[in-house]
Structure 1
Amino acid sequence: MTQHTTPQSDALPTTVRDFLSAHVVRDADASWSCLTEDAVIVDQGEAFRGPEQVYAFLRDAGSEFEYTTEQIGAHRIDDTHCVAVLRLEGSFPGGVAELDYRFTLRDDRIAGLVVANHEG
Protein backbone atom coordinates (compact mmCIF):
# COMPACT_ATOMS: atom_id res chain seq x y z
CA MET A 1 0.00 0.00 0.00
CA THR A 2 1.23 3.50 -0.83
CA GLN A 3 0.83 6.14 1.88
CA HIS A 4 1.74 9.80 1.88
CA THR A 5 1.75 12.49 4.51
CA THR A 6 0.20 15.84 3.78
CA PRO A 7 2.76 18.64 4.14
CA GLN A 8 1.59 21.12 6.78
CA SER A 9 4.71 23.15 7.51
CA ASP A 10 4.08 26.85 8.12
CA ALA A 11 7.59 27.47 6.77
CA LEU A 12 6.25 26.79 3.27
CA PRO A 13 3.98 29.13 1.31
CA THR A 14 0.45 27.91 0.62
CA THR A 15 1.22 27.34 -3.07
CA VAL A 16 4.10 25.01 -2.21
CA ARG A 17 2.03 23.12 0.37
CA ASP A 18 -0.76 22.73 -2.20
CA PHE A 19 1.72 21.53 -4.82
CA LEU A 20 3.29 18.95 -2.51
CA SER A 21 -0.08 17.67 -1.32
CA ALA A 22 -1.12 17.10 -4.93
CA HIS A 23 2.27 15.82 -6.13
CA VAL A 24 2.67 13.11 -3.50
CA VAL A 25 -0.69 11.60 -4.49
CA ARG A 26 0.15 12.01 -8.20
CA ASP A 27 -2.59 14.53 -8.97
CA ALA A 28 -0.92 16.12 -12.00
CA ASP A 29 -3.77 18.55 -12.67
CA ALA A 30 -3.72 19.99 -9.16
CA SER A 31 0.10 20.14 -9.17
CA TRP A 32 0.06 21.85 -12.57
CA SER A 33 -2.30 24.55 -11.29
CA CYS A 34 0.39 25.70 -8.81
CA LEU A 35 2.98 26.42 -11.53
CA THR A 36 3.70 29.40 -13.75
CA GLU A 37 3.21 28.83 -17.48
CA ASP A 38 6.99 28.83 -18.03
CA ALA A 39 7.92 26.72 -14.99
CA VAL A 40 11.01 24.51 -15.21
CA ILE A 41 11.47 21.35 -13.16
CA VAL A 42 14.86 19.70 -12.71
CA ASP A 43 14.79 16.20 -11.23
CA GLN A 44 18.13 14.61 -10.38
CA GLY A 45 19.83 16.71 -13.06
CA GLU A 46 17.26 16.17 -15.84
CA ALA A 47 15.42 19.34 -16.88
CA PHE A 48 11.78 19.41 -17.93
CA ARG A 49 10.78 22.55 -19.85
CA GLY A 50 7.63 23.60 -21.59
CA PRO A 51 4.07 22.61 -20.76
CA GLU A 52 4.22 19.12 -22.32
CA GLN A 53 7.45 18.02 -20.59
CA VAL A 54 6.52 19.54 -17.23
CA TYR A 55 3.04 18.03 -17.24
CA ALA A 56 4.44 14.61 -18.26
CA PHE A 57 6.87 14.81 -15.34
CA LEU A 58 4.06 15.66 -12.93
CA ARG A 59 1.93 12.82 -14.27
CA ASP A 60 4.62 10.12 -14.51
CA ALA A 61 7.40 10.80 -11.97
CA GLY A 62 7.91 7.72 -9.82
CA SER A 63 4.84 5.94 -11.19
CA GLU A 64 6.80 2.76 -11.84
CA PHE A 65 7.40 2.30 -8.09
CA GLU A 66 5.38 1.82 -4.92
CA TYR A 67 6.55 4.09 -2.12
CA THR A 68 5.57 6.13 0.88
CA THR A 69 6.34 9.82 1.24
CA GLU A 70 6.90 11.77 4.43
CA GLN A 71 7.84 15.42 4.72
CA ILE A 72 10.66 15.53 7.26
CA GLY A 73 11.72 19.15 6.99
CA ALA A 74 11.07 22.54 5.47
CA HIS A 75 12.55 25.99 5.56
CA ARG A 76 12.12 29.29 3.85
CA ILE A 77 15.26 30.86 2.40
CA ASP A 78 13.71 34.21 1.46
CA ASP A 79 10.47 35.55 -0.04
CA THR A 80 10.90 33.62 -3.30
CA HIS A 81 12.83 30.48 -2.28
CA CYS A 82 12.04 27.60 0.04
CA VAL A 83 12.99 23.95 0.51
CA ALA A 84 10.94 20.93 1.54
CA VAL A 85 12.72 17.71 2.52
CA LEU A 86 10.85 14.52 1.64
CA ARG A 87 11.73 10.99 2.70
CA LEU A 88 10.65 8.26 0.29
CA GLU A 89 10.67 4.54 1.14
CA GLY A 90 9.69 1.94 -1.39
CA SER A 91 10.40 -0.43 -4.24
CA PHE A 92 12.86 1.81 -6.11
CA PRO A 93 16.61 1.02 -6.17
CA GLY A 94 18.08 1.66 -2.73
CA GLY A 95 14.66 1.59 -1.08
CA VAL A 96 15.08 4.88 0.82
CA ALA A 97 15.77 8.40 -0.39
CA GLU A 98 15.76 11.81 1.22
CA LEU A 99 15.17 14.51 -1.37
CA ASP A 100 15.30 18.29 -1.29
CA TYR A 101 12.52 19.97 -3.25
CA ARG A 102 13.92 23.47 -3.87
CA PHE A 103 11.23 25.90 -4.98
CA THR A 104 11.46 29.27 -6.69
CA LEU A 105 8.30 31.36 -6.56
CA ARG A 106 7.06 34.17 -8.78
CA ASP A 107 3.74 35.96 -8.25
CA ASP A 108 2.64 33.33 -5.67
CA ARG A 109 3.18 30.46 -8.12
CA ILE A 110 6.02 28.00 -8.60
CA ALA A 111 8.38 29.10 -11.38
CA GLY A 112 11.08 26.54 -10.67
CA LEU A 113 11.58 23.28 -8.83
CA VAL A 114 14.83 21.41 -8.37
CA VAL A 115 14.61 17.90 -6.90
CA ALA A 116 17.96 16.59 -5.65
CA ASN A 117 19.43 14.36 -2.99
CA HIS A 118 19.11 15.91 0.46
CA GLU A 119 22.09 17.97 1.54
CA GLY A 120 21.83 16.90 5.17
Structure 2
Amino acid sequence: MTIELPDVIAAYFSADKTGDARAISECFTFDAVVVDEGNTYAGREAIRQWMANASTQYTYTVEPFALEEDGARSVVTSRLVGTFPGSPVDLRYRFVLRDDKIAELEIVP
Protein backbone atom coordinates (compact mmCIF):
# COMPACT_ATOMS: atom_id res chain seq x y z
CA MET A 1 0.00 0.00 0.00
CA THR A 2 1.35 3.39 -0.96
CA ILE A 3 0.62 6.34 1.30
CA GLU A 4 1.21 10.04 0.71
CA LEU A 5 3.40 11.39 3.50
CA PRO A 6 4.11 15.07 4.16
CA ASP A 7 7.40 15.98 2.45
CA VAL A 8 9.55 16.23 5.59
CA ILE A 9 8.21 12.93 6.96
CA ALA A 10 8.92 11.25 3.61
CA ALA A 11 12.44 12.74 3.75
CA TYR A 12 12.88 11.34 7.29
CA PHE A 13 11.98 7.79 6.24
CA SER A 14 14.06 8.08 3.05
CA ALA A 15 17.14 9.14 5.04
CA ASP A 16 16.46 6.34 7.55
CA LYS A 17 16.57 3.78 4.73
CA THR A 18 20.09 4.91 3.84
CA GLY A 19 21.25 5.20 7.46
CA ASP A 20 22.18 8.86 6.94
CA ALA A 21 22.02 10.26 10.48
CA ARG A 22 22.95 13.79 9.37
CA ALA A 23 20.19 13.88 6.73
CA ILE A 24 17.72 12.62 9.33
CA SER A 25 18.74 15.31 11.83
CA GLU A 26 18.28 18.00 9.18
CA CYS A 27 14.58 17.04 8.93
CA PHE A 28 14.16 18.43 12.47
CA THR A 29 13.91 21.94 13.90
CA PHE A 30 16.95 23.07 15.90
CA ASP A 31 15.03 22.62 19.17
CA ALA A 32 13.24 19.38 18.24
CA VAL A 33 12.61 16.57 20.71
CA VAL A 34 12.55 12.83 20.01
CA VAL A 35 11.26 10.25 22.49
CA ASP A 36 12.20 6.64 21.69
CA GLU A 37 12.41 3.59 23.96
CA GLY A 38 11.94 5.74 27.07
CA ASN A 39 14.81 8.08 26.16
CA THR A 40 14.50 11.75 25.20
CA TYR A 41 16.82 13.44 22.69
CA ALA A 42 16.68 17.23 22.46
CA GLY A 43 18.20 19.24 19.64
CA ARG A 44 19.56 18.30 16.23
CA GLU A 45 22.95 17.07 17.44
CA ALA A 46 21.41 14.73 20.03
CA ILE A 47 18.99 13.48 17.36
CA ARG A 48 21.86 12.85 14.94
CA GLN A 49 23.76 10.88 17.60
CA TRP A 50 20.62 8.88 18.50
CA MET A 51 20.15 7.82 14.90
CA ALA A 52 23.87 7.15 14.34
CA ASN A 53 23.88 4.84 17.37
CA ALA A 54 20.68 3.06 16.30
CA SER A 55 22.16 2.47 12.85
CA THR A 56 25.29 0.80 14.27
CA GLN A 57 23.52 -1.16 17.00
CA TYR A 58 20.93 -2.85 14.76
CA THR A 59 20.30 -3.60 11.11
CA TYR A 60 16.69 -2.92 10.18
CA THR A 61 14.25 -1.82 7.51
CA VAL A 62 11.24 0.38 8.12
CA GLU A 63 8.19 0.51 5.87
CA PRO A 64 5.43 3.07 6.56
CA PHE A 65 2.00 1.64 5.74
CA ALA A 66 -0.61 3.92 7.38
CA LEU A 67 -1.06 7.63 8.07
CA GLU A 68 -3.67 9.29 10.25
CA GLU A 69 -4.05 12.76 11.70
CA ASP A 70 -4.54 13.05 15.46
CA GLY A 71 -5.03 16.71 16.27
CA ALA A 72 -1.68 18.42 15.63
CA ARG A 73 0.06 15.05 15.17
CA SER A 74 0.65 13.04 12.03
CA VAL A 75 0.77 9.40 13.12
CA VAL A 76 2.61 7.06 10.76
CA THR A 77 2.40 3.34 11.46
CA SER A 78 5.41 1.44 10.14
CA ARG A 79 6.65 -2.15 10.12
CA LEU A 80 10.20 -2.54 11.46
CA VAL A 81 12.06 -5.73 10.57
CA GLY A 82 15.63 -6.30 11.70
CA THR A 83 18.23 -7.70 14.05
CA PHE A 84 16.65 -6.43 17.25
CA PRO A 85 14.68 -8.27 19.96
CA GLY A 86 10.99 -8.62 19.07
CA SER A 87 11.41 -8.20 15.32
CA PRO A 88 9.22 -7.65 13.37
CA VAL A 89 7.18 -4.97 15.11
CA ASP A 90 4.69 -2.32 14.06
CA LEU A 91 5.53 1.08 15.56
CA ARG A 92 3.67 4.38 15.56
CA TYR A 93 5.70 7.47 14.77
CA ARG A 94 3.89 10.51 16.19
CA PHE A 95 5.17 13.58 14.36
CA VAL A 96 4.47 17.24 15.20
CA LEU A 97 5.53 19.54 12.36
CA ARG A 98 6.49 23.21 12.54
CA ASP A 99 7.65 25.38 9.63
CA ASP A 100 8.03 22.33 7.33
CA LYS A 101 10.33 20.59 9.83
CA ILE A 102 9.77 17.97 12.52
CA ALA A 103 9.44 19.65 15.94
CA GLU A 104 8.53 16.51 17.91
CA LEU A 105 8.70 12.78 17.30
CA GLU A 106 7.55 10.06 19.65
CA ILE A 107 8.02 6.41 18.63
CA VAL A 108 5.73 3.93 20.41
CA PRO A 109 4.49 0.36 19.91
- Calculate the TM-score normalised by the size of structure 1: 0.79
Q: What are the Cα deviations for residues 81-104 of structure 1, in whole angstroms up to 9, with x where unaligned?
A: 201111112221122111111000
Identity among equivalent pairs (%): 36
Superposed CA RMSD in Å reads 1.7
2:47 aligns to what?
A: 54
Once residues 6 and 60 of structure 2 are traced to their aligned partners in structure 1, the CA distance between those partners, rounded to angstroms, is 25
2:23 match: secondary structure: helix
Moved over 6 A (4+): none
Closer, same or farther in 2 for the Cα pair 1:63/1:74, shift >3 Å?
farther
Work out the number of aligned pairs and report it: 108
Structure richer in helix, relative to its length: 2
- Alignment counterpart, residue 106 of structure 1, candidates 63, 84, 98: 98
Closer, same or farther in 2 for the Cα pair 1:30/1:51, shift >3 Å?
closer
2:56 aligns to what?
A: 63
Gaps (5+ residues) in structure 1?
Answer: 1-7
2:31 aligns to what?
A: 38
Shift of 1:62: 4.5
Matched, 1:91 2:83: yes
Once residues 51 and 90 of structure 1 are traced to their aligned partners in structure 2, the CA distance between those partners, rounded to angstroms, is 25
**Counterpart residue identity of residue 93, structure 2:** Y
Gaps (5+ residues) in structure 2?
Answer: none
CA contact (8 A) 2:33 2:40 kept: yes
Once residues 46 and 23 of structure 2 are traced to their aligned partners in structure 1, the CA distance between those partners, rounded to angstroms, is 16
CA contact (8 A) 2:3 2:65 kept: no
CA contact (8 A) 2:25 2:44 kept: no
Matched, 1:76 2:69: yes
- Calculate the TM-score normalised by the size of structure 2: 0.86
